[in-house]
Structure 1
Amino acid sequence: MSTTNLDFARRYFRAIEQGATGEALAAFFHPEVTQVEYPNRLVPAGATRDLRALLEGAERGQKVVASQRYEVRHTVEQGDSLALEVAWSATLKVPVGSLPAGGTMRASFGVFLTFREGRILSQHNYDCFEPF
């Protein structure tokens, strides 16, 4: 069965929604993956992460987020590159800013993925959070 990069990206987001960490999450990434998170309210200086840092971040996220949802609103695909506009929401385990534990944090994400050998080689995130 052939799969498209968009199908793969949707499975990746579903895995994150289901709390994937460790090897279950690593399976989506090429071993040489890099992720760039451009400056935003949560990460004011931005960040660049390799596979290890991505997996560590997923573990840390489990302590903050009770559940999360990714809604793909728009996509553009060209060759091994995929651009996605994503609506994200998360129910918090702990207070963040003015949001209480149990509150919902929301954001609009621009996510740009490149693929190599059927897995994510690079991910660039432009995360726009609603006020919190």
Structure 2
Amino acid sequence: MSRAEIVRAYLKAIESRGDSLSFFTEDAVQEEFPNALAPSGARRTLEDLREANTRGKNVLTSETYEIINLVEAGDIVAAEVLWRGVLAVPLRSLKPGDAMKARLSVFFEFQGDKIRRQRNYDCFEPF
């Protein structure tokens, strides 16, 4: 399986609420650069991702990842993604059942067939 195919499978695992964390190395780091939901950004280890994954399942009833562009170069895969999430809880001007949208640029660095580093640049539509 190519690394681009692994990224596709990873995003599908998130959508289906499957085991998305099995795609990471044990020493993986995910960085989220400042955005509307995380104004200071965030840096997460695999353990942090486990906790965030559990919290996220309580905030959203569903989410989808539509890949616009996917480029693989050596150990790196770059993805341009249209994300949509349906809220289970109110958030600012949105109520449960409302959809959020964001354009994501995500860079995945691989070690073998596992993600070792993920960098997210998330651009949310106003909410």
TM-score range, shorter chain: over 0.9
Post-superposition offset of 1:80 = 0.7
Separation (CA, whole Å) in 1 of partners of 2:20 and 2:120: 17
Post-superposition offset of 1:59 = 0.2
**Secondary structure in 2 aligned to 1:114?**
strand
What letter is aligned with 1:69? T
RMSD: 0.7
Post-superposition offset of 1:70 = 0.1
Post-superposition offset of 1:30 = 0.7
The 10-residue stretch of structure 1 (11-20 or 104-113) with the greater mean CA deviation from structure 2: 11-20
What letter is aligned with 1:115? F
Within 5 Å, which residues of 2 pair with 1:68-83?
68-83=63-78
Separation (CA, whole Å) in 2 of partners of 1:130 and 1:69: 15
Instruction: Determine which of 84, 87, 97 is the counterpart of 2:82.
Output: 87
Deviations 1:59-101 (A, max 9, x none): 0001100000000101221101011000000110011111110
State whether residues 75 and 82 of structure 1, in contact with CA within 8 Å, keep that contact through their aligned partners in structure 2.
Answer: yes
Instruction: Determine which of 1, 14, 17 is the counterpart of 1:16.
Output: 14
Runs of 4+ in 1 over 6 A off after TM superposition: none
Post-superposition offset of 1:32 = 1.0
Query: TM-score, normalized by length of structure 2?
Result: 0.97
- The aligned length equals 127
Which blocks of at least 5 consecutive residues in structure 2 are unaligned? Answer: none
What letter is aligned with 2:55? R
Counting aligned pairs with the same residue, the percent is 43
What letter is aligned with 1:89? R
Post-superposition offset of 1:27 = 1.1
- 1:116 corresponds to: 111
Query: TM-score, normalized by length of structure 1?
Result: 0.94
Deviations 1:40-61 (A, max 9, x none): 0000000000000011101000
Which blocks of at least 5 consecutive residues in structure 1 are unaligned? Answer: none
Within 5 Å, which residues of 2 pair with 1:28-67?
28-67=23-62
State whether residues 110 and 127 of structure 1, in contact with CA within 8 Å, keep that contact through their aligned partners in structure 2.
Answer: yes
- 1:4 corresponds to: 2
State whether residues 67 and 79 of structure 2, in contact with CA within 8 Å, keep that contact through their aligned partners in structure 1.
Answer: yes
What letter is aligned with 2:112? E
Post-superposition offset of 1:19 = 1.1
